A and B are shown apart, each in its own frame.
Chain A
């Protein structure tokens, strides 16, 4: 199969690849961000965005805007584009596209379950869910009292069901359990997605394995940092790492025993691709790590567009757009709260 994508790829996926590349060229550029950063009010942001592809989504919004409206409308655009692509896609691309949304599904499940635990209103929670990760019976999640019920009642009908095999316990849900559940699910999801891409073969496998490996490694680092100082045992921590990626398996062994951020740093600096990320940080600092990782991710996602005839572009586009929406949210928040000096703290330029 490898090397022959060019022969047959366009039969089924040529149109969508063209579409997604077209969408990609609609991403905001550095010049756009510069202009956005100079905005004084949210109306200015709206005015600037109305000249971009977001225009039609924002033009009918009445004037006192809120950050949430902007983000909501921008997400709506992404969702519309995704739905259009999904409806046009044939197998195996449609499965691939669906895989992209599972991450959001996991997040939504966790959000609802946590929310119900803290006795929030279900409808309020539903509004906060990412629209890409919605499924039919999501609202019913609120009924469940423990993992087993969660699985048996609701999730058995969703694509997430197979990922649950590892975390069915009868324990009652609490914050810690939920967080472990999220990471276990995510691990299973990433591994499944990875296997699926390997099965597709060709350039898709090559590019997606790189992107997913980065994702897995980033999660491993985050899990490690977040679990420092909690009651999570080393073995449990080790279990949450995905079984692939650059850090697998030796890096995982070392990460599992880390006790503070500098030890993590020591482990990561052994891996050349991550050296540059950590080189930017001063010792003992973990605040800017997220941004550094995002920057690295965006770089890799952009590189995915350099090659043709593979599905990685769809994944990359969705991720880039999400990053863009995160950027817009940050800029809008900064503008709304008059914190313009902090605009550049978290904006990741895409081009």
Chain B
């Protein structure tokens, strides 16, 4: 496949194509196109609601199958099976077969579940019953023994002397005629523990206190037969008297979901029932186990094929969605689809169409034809795993207009570079590199895993981080920073003390003994009094040079854009004055910086720049860097002044003229034949939308001009953040090094040293490696989005989303 040479600077050339597909091969054709993944369908039925479309029934079918699959998956996860990814046998199932199969499986599962639920419920009921029998039995037993003891005592009392304590009426009480004794009824059962208080309260209220309630907590949670949940429960026995009370009690029991169980106070019968219940329980247990085994076998077989079925259903559903976007042709025998595809993919698509009609034994092949359109095509960049992250950075600001120059190309280098200018430390760079190396080496494994939110982000941007790390190693070497420790890597320092004692090193200074340090900043600068003034001046000037260079690149790209789209007005009345304006002021400043560096002059550049505006004709005096500087400055100032109206006025006026000419042409035109006039109507329809409002265009241009003129100043100042962040970074790292590590070292104590090292590592990782990386990243992002891209980038395009099965499986949660 031949790829265009500049495929990342300009987005892929696209075309609007029409597909005419015979009904009988439509499904297969769309399926093949989905495998290919290079065609973005347009919805031709926007006015129809989803259920009015042709294939609504099929989509409903797929939805139903997806629901069944979800049900199966739910059952599988409950039973602890995970759908195995290994598709053991690649049997081709058709949708119809699958539908039948899924229906059967669902029915079978539901039946099995219902059976096991029923069994489980009776099992749980029996369990509860057993509990009631045990607990209530205990209670009755103890109550009876207490009563017996009392009786005994009473009898003893009767035998002996009547003590003063014994109630006087006791005798009467105990010797009531048994026939008059009220027969107390009782109800026993289980109630959820959290409800037990309310239960007791309501019982009390409803019967005005004429009940006796005894509750015993069951230690282990009990499975509720109705809901199947594990709940903590209490066994209760309620004694009441009278029929009405019984009605009330049973009603309240029902209302509280308390399960009642029959119970006898006859001990012999109790034992009998307990043994009966235990027997039933063990019987049920075996039945349930057999059922569970059968169920898990069923689920296991499902789990082997689940993924395959799931994918099939998803594919089918997406195919029908696409089919719904197509419209019928007049004869109702063909489907007509429209959509975008890359021009380079034309052959592939045609081959696919042919293949599809061959495979479906269709008499007529599908027709592919290119349509002419005024619509703006989608933007498609062919990215790989390295460039995609950088393209994401640009896309986050705005997707490029169709075929507009893509800043993503330059971002690959400039973004990590600007980051590194702020993050210059080759020790930190190395740490970052090792971290990202881990991601890159384990790429294959990690890309299939589910990572956390933040990890996912770091993993997605691994190549960006790698580039950032490499560049910061480079700038770190230039700054000569390694955790703020200077190294003499590239030879010996050029400076040395005046004498061996080095007493006056910090007062008088050092002398130069060797040639200039070959690469980067001389290590001797570190820790001197003049370190900051020297580095600040260096980094500030460097930031301005980098900024001017990048902004010029932006303006030059606007030239390439204008040339590509054949827009001469933009070249002559926007690009030219802009580049003149920027360079006559700040380009000149850059020139002065370079001249000052090369000549070693002492000139004050602030003074030069400020008086260039305030009194351009005044003599420069000491600040003169080269001959004729004064006249050059006056000339440049004039250029800059001219450039502003040049930007402002001609463009809107010329646009107005162009518009008027176009319309004059329309006012007088020869009459066409009917067919032509039809075409013309379409054309005029398309033109009719662009109404020309001069004031609007002028205001727009006015804003644009002001923005550019002011932006030239503020954007240049904005690039000073490169210096500021780099200063902050080096100062922070030197603080951690001096005030933590060296301080701890000074105590000559192992424990303090260990603590110091731990604090140092935490501070380095937390503050310098994570927070500083983030802040430098964001500042670099801003410099790209605002300062660089505002010079040329429109970013009002939309992305190309082809219909593809590959993206289908990615979508899955």
Contact = CB atoms under 8 A, between A and B. Distances in A.
Interface of A: 35, 38-40, 43-44, 47-48, 50-51, 59-63, 122, 136-137, 139-143, 149, 152-154, 157
A140 B50 contact: no
From B49, B56, B70, residue with most partner A Cβ within 10 Å: B49
B67 A143 contact: no
Contact of B202 (A48, A51, A153): A153
Contacts of A139: 254-257
A47 B56 contact: yes
16 contacts: A43-B60, A47-B51, A47-B63, A48-B50, A59-B67, A59-B70, A60-B70, A63-B64, A122-B254, A137-B202, A139-B257, A143-B251, A143-B252, A149-B206, A152-B205, A157-B198
Given A62-B67, A143-B248, A153-B205, A136 B198 contact: yes
B51 A143 contact: no
Contacts of A48: 49-51
B383 interface: no
Contacts of B71: 60
Contacts of A142: 251, 255
Contacts of A43: 60
B195 interface: yes
Contacts of B59: 47
Interface in B43-73: 49-52, 56, 59-60, 63-64, 67, 70-71
B50 A51 contact: yes
Given A63-B64, A140-B251, A152-B205, 17 more contacts: A38-B49, A44-B51, A47-B60, A48-B49, A50-B63, A51-B50, A59-B67, A60-B67, A60-B71, A62-B64, A63-B60, A139-B255, A142-B255, A143-B202, A143-B248, A143-B252, A143-B255
A140 B248 contact: no
A35 B49 contact: yes
Interface in B370-418: none
A84 B55 CA distance: 38
Nearest to A47: B51
A137 B198 contact: yes
B255 A140 contact: yes
Nearest to A63: B64
Interface string B219-254: 000000000000000000000000000001001101
B635 to A, nearest CB: 57
Given A60-B71, A139-B254, A39 B205 contact: no
B63 A140 contact: no
Contacts of A51: 50
B254 A153 contact: no
Q: Is the interface of B mostly helix, strand, loop or mixed?
A: helix
A143 B206 contact: yes
Contact of A136 (B49, B64, B195): B195
Task: Name the interface size band of chain B.
Answer: 20 to 34
A12 to B, nearest CB: 27
A48 B59 CA distance: 12
Contacts of B195: 136
Contacts of B251: 140, 142-143
A291 to B, nearest CB: 25
A43 B56 CA distance: 11
A55 to B, nearest CB: 11
A149 B71 CA distance: 47
Interface string B406-450: 000000000000000000000000000000000000000000000
A111 to B, nearest CB: 15
Nearest to B202: A140
A38 B52 contact: yes
Contacts of A50: 63
Contacts of A61: 67
B359 to A, nearest CB: 31
Contacts of A157: 198
Nearest to B59: A47
Contact of B252 (A62, A63, A140): A140
Contacts of B64: 62-63
Nearest to A144: B206
A122 B52 contact: no
A25 B751 CA distance: 61
Interface string B251-288: 11011110000000000000000000000000000000
A153 B256 CA distance: 14
A137 B198 CA distance: 8
A122 B205 CA distance: 20
A32 to B, nearest CB: 9
Contacts of B254: 122, 139
A226 B243 CA distance: 41
A122 B257 CA distance: 11
Interface in B707-752: none
Contacts of B252: 140, 143
B202 A154 contact: yes
Nearest to A41: B51
A280 B75 CA distance: 56
A161 to B, nearest CB: 13
Contacts of B202: 137, 140, 143, 153-154
A157 B252 CA distance: 16
Contacts of A149: 206
Contacts of B67: 59-62
Contacts of A38: 49, 52
Nearest to A149: B206
Contacts of A60: 67, 70-71
A60 B251 CA distance: 36
Nearest to B61: A63
B210 to A, nearest CB: 14
A8 B216 CA distance: 51
A290 B361 CA distance: 62
Nearest to B194: A136
A151 to B, nearest CB: 10
Nearest to A32: B49
A51 B59 CA distance: 13
Contact of B51 (A39, A122, A140): A39
A143 B59 CA distance: 51
Contacts of A136: 195, 198
A122 B250 CA distance: 13
A63 B62 CA distance: 12
A40 B51 CA distance: 9
Nearest to A156: B205
Contacts of A35: 49
A47 B50 contact: yes
A171 to B, nearest CB: 19
Contacts of B205: 152-153
B103 to A, nearest CB: 11
B253 to A, nearest CB: 10
A31 B699 CA distance: 38
A35 B52 CA distance: 9
B75 to A, nearest CB: 13
A102 B414 CA distance: 63
Nearest to B248: A143
A130 to B, nearest CB: 18
B256 A140 contact: yes
A144 to B, nearest CB: 9
B99 to A, nearest CB: 12
A103 B256 CA distance: 24
B781 to A, nearest CB: 27
A35 B252 CA distance: 48
Contacts of A143: 202, 206, 248, 251-252, 255
Contacts of B52: 38
A137 B248 CA distance: 15
A61 B197 CA distance: 38
Closest 3 CB pairs of A and B: A139-B255, A44-B51, A35-B49
A44 B52 CA distance: 9
